[in-house]
Every structure is written in structure tokens, then in C-alpha cells.
Chains A and B, each alone.
Chain A
Amino acid sequence: MTYILEGDTGDWEVVIGLEVHAQIISNSKLFSGSATSFGAEPNTHVSLVDAAMPGMLPVINEHCIEQAVRTGLGLKAEINLVSVFDRKNYFYADLPQGYQISQLYHPIVGEGTVILDLDDGSTREVGIERLHMEQDAGKSMHDQDPKRSFIDLNRSGTGLMEIVSRPDLKSPEDVGAYLRKLRSILRYLGTCDGNMDEGSMRCDVNVSVRKVGEIELRNRAEVKNVNSVRFAMQAVEIEARRQIDVYEDGGDVIQETRLFDSVNGETRPMRSKEHAHDYRYFPDPDLLPLELTQEYVDNIKATLPELPDERKARYMGAFGLSAYDAGVLVAERDTAQYYEEVAAGHDPKLAANWVISNLFAVLKEKGVGISESPVSAKSLSKLLDLLKDDTISGRIAKDVFEIMVAEGKEAEAIVEEKGLKQITDTGAIETAVDEVIANSPEQVEQYKSGNEKIAGWFVGQVMKATGGKANPPMVNQMLKDKLK
């Protein structure tokens, strides 16, 4: 579905590219041995290198290289066997070196692809232009004191991957799908935890608009400070509308950096000083070019996990799931693992229904993730065992599941305790059937005179008489025989 914004002068479309900064999962920083954990006391994870003391030199963290290569492979991208670190020069109080070590001219990862899973079950490819490694800056805190600013260098020097998409996104929905998919891939790979609320995944949104049918791109604005998927989607909508208004009022959109203000629902230009930089990039003479061997890359490739797209294909192919169900189940690695544990030894479609319909409803109601699910995969799997061997019926299973959620007990114990076992004893069912027939001469008459639809009514009566525990196929057969 095309996303079109109507204006006074006609229809407009939106062109969006994203720059995602993903913090590399690593015990230590990109060029120093300091720890990287989130939420530590200010300035407790700072080495001499991170504080840019005189004479200190960066030494690349090999684990970060591996993580970047792993991510590149996960994005189906080309890995550049030679890449170079550059200095990006600018002054800021939380940038101790006065430059950020980044990779402008020769990034470690080249072009790749992310496949969007759209709401209607269709998919679309979005191009990745590049991925490069760079250092994060520290944090400036301006709200601690009326006159002074404070600096926390814990984050200074932490390794980031900047993942730049092509301007292939066309709507807020695309942006949401892209960010969710990218996050899913990074989490599958174990290269970034993707927690946007902790700042370990951040994004800048490049937005431009053009009249439907135009080929050329117009000027774009880079919207910064977007720290959730929802905000990214909102920012696109708001910024696109702003640009359309500017054009329709006879103005021109200027190429600039803007800040997203989620409270006021607007974007506004950053002060000119904050972005009027000439970064004076040049190769960092403290670091040699990074040279990798094909063998090194191949070895990493051999250890890649099954990624969401492959897993989705497997669920659709081997399990016969719909694209939508498969997409939902693979989005988070934990969910997929949960599902596979439940599906083992059961009908995969039935297992999918249970996870998507019943379990997800409970998780949503409780507001928890699958890792905090009140019913473990093993427990749900045991419940399906009881269904499979006819110990309980599907209807009873739903009741049992509710009790499992509420009381945290195992299915078998609940069935035992509440006497919910299905009645498969022919004698007991026969007694109930005979009783219903004896008490319903009118209905018997109707049936015999050709109204076979009333058979369902008889089944209902028998189930009612047995507290829902009678085995439905047995009841059906017996009624058929007796009413003949």
C-alpha cells in the first residue's frame, strides 16, 4: 500500500533513509580495555585512553571487529577485507580527543539488504549502503547544576556500528518494519541488544518529500534524537507534513539537522553551531589499516545462527505456517525458540495457534515478554500432550490453560485435581445418551422426521450432562446409532 500525503497542490510521497547507531555487544570499548556496562556510576568506566590523556594511543578491540563482520554477514553484505579508521574532528566537552575515530572513506562493511515483513504478509527489500565502526562520545549533563555542566565519560569510546540504509523507505510503517527487523537481526546475531530505551540502539531519520511521479529527490532533513520505534514513525509523519507545508507555502526545505521533540510533537532545527561542522576527516595515523583475510570472514560465517528470514522460510515450508504467523513467531529469537519447543512432537500449526492466539493474549494482558511468560514452553508442550492423547478435549484445554496462567500449575495436575479427564468409557457415555434421548421425545421426533440439524443439539445436551468431559467423536457416533 502506498503512503500518500494529500496537500493543497496535489499528492506527495515521502522518501526516508535511516542511520542506525547500534552499540556493539562487547565487554570492553572499541579502542580501550574499559568496561561498557550500562548504568554504572559516572566516570567509573574510563581508561586513560577514553579520557584522551596526553600520549595515549588507541588499540583496536578484536572482538568488536568480529561483531561488525558478523553483523555485515547477517545483513547479507559484502565484507571489505581492508578498511581504514578516520578521525572526525570536532570540539565538544564530552568528546575528550577532540575527534571521533570512525570509518568514512573505507568502511568495514559495504552493501547489503534487509527484508521488511509488512503487515499484509508481503515482504520488500531495503538496501543497506554501508556499516562502519566508530567510537561513541561521552554524555553531557546540563540539568545537574544551574551554572555548570557535568560530563560522564563512561560511554566515551564505546564501540558503535553505524548502519546506513538506502533511501528505500516510503512510509512510517516501513520505518517501523525496518527498525524492528534490523533489531531482530542484531539480536539473533548477538551483536547489539537493540534496547532503544537504554540508548544502545539510536537512529537518525533522513526525510524528504516529493510530488508523486517526481524522479529527483528534494532536499532532506536529518532528524535526530529519535529513541524509539514509535518516535521514529511519528517523526517521519510530522517532518513530512512540515516539509509539505513549507513547499505549499511557497518556501524551500533546506538541508539541515533537526531535533525531534516528542513532547510537543514537532521537529525543530538544531542551533547552527551544533551542526555547522567541517569534520576535516583524515586517516587516523595511530591505527594501521584493518586487514582481514577471507578465511577469517568465512570462519565467522560458519558460526552464524539461523536468522529470522531463513527461520521464517523454514516455518512456512516445513511447518506449513502462513507468512503472517511465521513472521510473528520469528521476530524475536526468544519467541521462536519458545515456539519450537512447543511445536516439537506436536502439530506445528496447532502449536502456532496456541502461541499466537492464547499465549500472546496472556502476555499482552500482563504486559510481559516471552522470557517472563507465566507458562513455560515445556508446560505448554505438556498441555498439548494431553490434547494429543485425548486425555482432554480442545475446549477443556483452554480452561486448563487459563488455570495454568492463574495458578502456575502443570496441566496434568489441574486435569487430575479438577477431574477434567475426558470420558471415553462407552458405558458412561451410553448412559448419558440414553438419558438425553429418553427425556427429549419431541426432539427425537423432529430428528426422525428428517431434521438432522438437531443432532448438534443432542451433542450439546450430552456434553452438558457430562460436564464437557465426554469425548465428542464418541458421543456423535453413539447418537447416530441410537437415533437411527
Chain B
Amino acid sequence: MTKLTDLTISAARDGLNGGDFTAVELTEAHIVAMEDARGLNAFITETPDIALERAGESDGRRKAGAAVGAMDGIPVAIKDLFCTEGVLTTAGSHILDGFTPPYESTVSGNLRAAGSVMLGKTNMDEFAMGSANITSYYGNVINPWKGKDGKDLVPGGSSGGSAAAVAGRLALAATGTDTGGSIRQPASFSGIVGLKPTYGRCSRWGIVAFASSLDQAGPMTRSVRDAAIMLGAMAGHDPKDSTSAPVEVPDFEAALNGDIKGLRVGIPKEYRMDGMDPEIDKLWSEGIDMMKDGGAEIIDVSLPNTEHALPTYYIIAPAEASANLARYDGVRYGLRVDGDSLDEMYANTRAEGFGDEVQRRVLIGAYVLSAGFYDAYYRKAQRVRRLISNDFKKAYESVDVLLTPTAPSAAFAIAEKMDDPVAMYLNDVFTVPASLAGMPGISVPTGLSHQGLPLGLQLIGKPFDEETLLKAADVLEAAAGFDGRPA
């Protein structure tokens, strides 16, 4: 029999329903794995007691023949950006020291209502700002994958702890959040599936905000089917979030019928960038062939404003962040470093509480919004954002989904790119455009690099058409037959 920690959600669900094992057994196996793999630093807070309690409740429901949820008894990890009632929530930041929310985020609450079992809170880049999980106050996360040289690698970011937990078999799945690629890029670096839903599909209520117009929660799993199951449990309209879309949640899993005959797959020429890693190029070509073999029609499209996406993102996201992070002032919760005046207390608290990357982005954000610069930066970025959105809308007149690489490289070593923020920002070059346009995107592992590291391809779908996106991803996943796993 397969090890309990190697199961997918769908297989574990069948096993639980068939009585092959209990939720408590499944959970215990993961608690042991979590403890054994502490060297990865994937979790900031482990919650084994909560996990066992909820697993016991789940077993009780099954035993009593009561109704069970879509994720009943499934052990999952929750990114530490989601507020969890009674459990320390840090956003990877020193400034939220000791912050234990008296409320549960809508998404983690939905997952709990679906019966899932929370194993703990995963490490992440501070306030979700980063692409390598090296900005966390709680230390960097180590990718369970190793290259041939055996160096410690980054798991990607910002949902690096979640990616490492899922790839390292410490959780069957995990929540992530994606602002410019924070689900998809670490999924690609860690050889797992990561889905960023359409903006508005999942409620943002109770998720520590980074950039409100971009932030979106999504599942990180080991199969496309699992992503479909988990998205169904996370999504839904929430009146507490004004940007949450009042749309029905379809049965995403039912959309996975393997039939992509006639599906129009767009290949955006602007994503074939100068100096692109030939390995990535090759991976992409192979992906195109797989879709073609599955019966899809391949169509070349143009997204002409792609090159402006990254600079646009690095104006809008920091601008919003500069305001969103203003509430961390030492007055009401978290860290306070005293000073002789209110202003000094603010300065001391924020200087000590925020790391370098967060401070950099708050400063960039304040700068682009300040008098005299607003029009040149923020307002212009908003206009370009609209153009980028229009590019996608236009492309979707002739195609159903787009296929691109997820990230420009495989996972890199922990010390690399540390001193060069712009090189780090380039990690998001393929994921940021869909974020700006609010489109759903999914990363599927399809191959290995020459170093034996996982590489993912990204499919981008139409707004609120995650069903088609998942169906295409399911076919790509099956064709790629990716079965690599960390040693």
C-alpha cells in the first residue's frame, strides 16, 4: 500500500470513505512527517493538537454516517497569511509578534467547514513579498528538491512553506496566496500544482493584505484533480469582501473529462523572451505538442503589452502595500518598540518590525503615490494595467486558454539573487500579467531540468472559467506524466 503521506486528496478521500484508514491515522502520519522535516522550516506554527482533534471529529462524522464535506479528514497546511482563530498568525513578519486573531479567514473557515484538518501555518516571504522565501522573519524555507550539486535550494515564494510542505509530503495540500505569482512560481520550483483563481473567486476577508487589487487565495496540491477539489472547498461569494464575485461555485472536479478536442490554446509570442533558458523553451514546446496531441488547436496570439507588466506590477503592488501596511503601527497589536513621541514609536516599531524587502516596497509605494509623482507612476500604471487586461480580452476572442512557462528558471540556490532585487523580481515575469488582468492561472509540473529539478508550465484561462482551465491542465498533467519527487 502507498504511504499515507504519498496520497493525493482524491485517493485519500476514497481511502477514508472506504474505511481503509482513519482521518486520525492519516493526520498522525503527516504530523510525524512534519516533525521529521523540520529542517525544511516549512512551518512557522505546527498545530498537531488542533489537527488531531479535527481528524477525530471527521472520523466521528464518517462513523455516524453523517454528511461529510468535500475535504473531510484531509490534512492541509495553511499559509501564515490567513488569519486563524486562536492560532498565531504572523504573515512571516516580526511586526505581528504574538498576534493571535479572534477570527478565522473566510477561506480557511470554508476549508474547515468542508472537513479539512489544519496541520499548521506555513512559512512565507514577509507579507508575501518575495519569490524565494528568503524574506521571512522566521528564516528561509528549504526546497525538498536538491540539484545534482546537493546545494540547498529555494522553494520559490512567497508561498514557499506551503510549496515545500506539499512537495515534501508534509501535507496533502496547502493554501497559498498569489499576488504576482506567489502560488504558481513556488509550485513550479517544487514540482507541484498551484492554482491562482480568478480575482474575486475566493474571499480575501481575513487574509493579511499585501496588494488588495491583486491578492487571491488558491490551492497548492499534488494533482490537478486535487486542485479542483480544493478550489471548490475554498471558493464562494462573501458579502464581507466587496471585491468577492457573486458567482456560483461549479463542480470543478466534474469538469475534468479529459476531452480537449477543439480547445483553442493560445501561444503568446511575447512570452518567448530574449535570452530565454533553452530548457524552458524546450519544455514549452513539448507542452504545446502535448496539447496538440490531445486534440487541441494551437493558435499563435499576441499580448503586446506583456513587456510592461513587470514595471506596472512593481508600481501598483507596492502602492497598495504602502497603505495596507500602515495599520502595523505598534498601537493596537503585534510588536511595539517604544519611543519618546508617537512618531518615534512608529519609526522604531516599523524599522524593527519590517524586514528590508518590506521596507523597500513600502518606500517605493509611498514614492509612487506622493504628490508630483502620482500621475507619472501610479496613474500611468493603472492605464497600462487596463491595456494589459485588454490584451487578454482580445486574445480570448480567438482562444480558450493560453499556455506559457511558469517561471524563467528552475529553483536556484539560497544565496543567489539575494543582493539584486530586480533579478529577483524577474522570477514573476510570466505570472504577473495574468495577475494584473485578474485572470486565473495554473502551474503544472511537466518536466525536469538538467539538474533534475522540476519545471512547470502555466495555463491561463478566461475569468471565472476555471473549469476549462482545470480540464486543460488535467490533460497536460496526464500527457506529461510527471512523476518526479524530491529524493
A residues lining the B interface (CB < 8 Å)? 48, 51-60, 87, 89, 91-93, 96-99, 149, 151, 273, 278, 280-282, 284-288
Contacts and interface: CB of A to CB of B under 8 A. Distances in A.
A55 B104 CA distance: 10
B383 to A, nearest CB: 13
B214 to A, nearest CB: 8
Which of the four size classes fits the interface of chain B? 35 or more
Given A52-B332, A288-B242, A282 B369 contact: yes
A285 B125 CA distance: 22
A54 to B, nearest CB: 5
5 contacts: A55-B82, A55-B83, A56-B205, A91-B343, A99-B323
Contacts of A52: 327, 332
B329 A278 contact: no
Contacts of A89: 322-323, 326, 366, 369
A59 B103 contact: no
Contact of B326 (A51, A93, A97): A97
Contacts of A281: 369, 374
A369 to B, nearest CB: 41
A91 B369 CA distance: 15
Interface in B239-267: 239-243
Contact of B209 (A55, A87, A280): A55
B342 interface: yes
B396 interface: no
A98 B205 contact: no
B333 interface: yes
Contact of B241 (A57, A96, A273): A57
Interface string B209-222: 10111000000000
A53 B101 contact: yes
Nearest to B205: A57
Nearest to A51: B332
B327 A97 contact: yes
Contacts of A58: 242
A288 B243 CA distance: 7
B50 interface: no
B192 interface: no
Given A96-B331, A99-B326, A59 B239 contact: yes
Given A55-B208, A96-B332, A285-B213, A280 B370 contact: yes
Nearest to B379: A282
Nearest to A280: B369
Interface in B99-127: 99, 101-103, 105
B205, B343, B366 — most chain A CB neighbours (10 Å): B205
Given A98-B323, A99-B323, A285-B213, A57 B242 contact: yes
B378 A278 contact: no
Contacts of A93: 329, 331, 342
A87 B83 CA distance: 24
B224 interface: no
A52 B323 CA distance: 12
Nearest to A85: B242
Contact of A287 (B105, B242, B343): B242
A112 to B, nearest CB: 28
A98 B329 contact: yes
Contacts of A91: 326, 329, 343, 346
Contact of B207 (A48, A55, A149, A280): A55
A55 B127 CA distance: 12
B463 to A, nearest CB: 15
Nearest to B239: A59
A60 B326 contact: no
Q: Which 10 A-B residue pairings sit nearest by Cβ, starting from the closest?
A: A98-B326, A285-B213, A280-B369, A285-B212, A52-B327, A55-B206, A54-B208, A55-B83, A278-B371, A286-B212
B400 interface: no
B231 interface: no
A99 B328 CA distance: 12
Given A57-B242, A89-B369, 14 more contacts: A53-B101, A54-B209, A54-B333, A55-B101, A57-B205, A87-B323, A93-B329, A96-B331, A278-B371, A282-B319, A282-B323, A285-B211, A286-B212, A287-B242
A280 to B, nearest CB: 4
Contacts of A287: 242-243
Contacts of B333: 53-54
Nearest to A287: B242
B243 A282 contact: no
* Main SS class of interface, A: loop
Interface in B56-99: 82-83, 89, 91, 96, 99
A53 B374 CA distance: 28
B46 interface: no
Interface in B300-356: 319-320, 322-323, 325-327, 329, 331-333, 342-343, 346
Nearest to A55: B206
Contacts of B91: 54
A100 to B, nearest CB: 11
A51 B327 CA distance: 9
B64 to A, nearest CB: 34
Nearest to B89: A54
Contacts of A92: 342
A278 B332 contact: no
A60 B243 CA distance: 12
Contacts of A288: 242-243
Contacts of A96: 327, 331-332
Contacts of B371: 278, 280
Nearest to A99: B323
B361 interface: no
A93 B343 CA distance: 10
A56, A59, A97, A149 — most chain B CB neighbours (10 Å): A56
A371 to B, nearest CB: 40
B30 interface: no
B204 interface: yes
Contacts of A56: 205-206
A55 B163 CA distance: 22
Contacts of B242: 57-60, 286-288
Nearest to B96: A54
A54 B204 CA distance: 11
Interface string B362-377: 0000100111001000
A282 B368 CA distance: 10
A197 to B, nearest CB: 28
A173 to B, nearest CB: 37
A51, A54, A58, A288 — most chain B CB neighbours (10 Å): A54
Nearest to B350: A91
A282 B378 contact: yes
A92 B103 CA distance: 25
A85 B449 CA distance: 48
A280 B326 CA distance: 12
B179 to A, nearest CB: 12
Contacts of B103: 48, 53
A4 B343 CA distance: 44
Given A91-B329, A97-B326, A285 B366 contact: no
Contacts of A57: 204-205, 240-242
B242, B366, B370 — most chain A CB neighbours (10 Å): B242
Nearest to B319: A282
Contacts of A48: 102-103
Contacts of B240: 57, 59
Given A60-B242, A89-B323, A98-B323, A55 B346 contact: no
Contacts of A54: 83, 89, 91, 96, 99, 101, 208-209, 327, 333
A287 B370 CA distance: 21
Contacts of B204: 55, 57
Contacts of B105: 55
Contacts of A99: 323, 326
Contacts of B369: 89, 280-282
Contacts of B213: 285
Interface in B152-173: none
Interface in B246-301: none
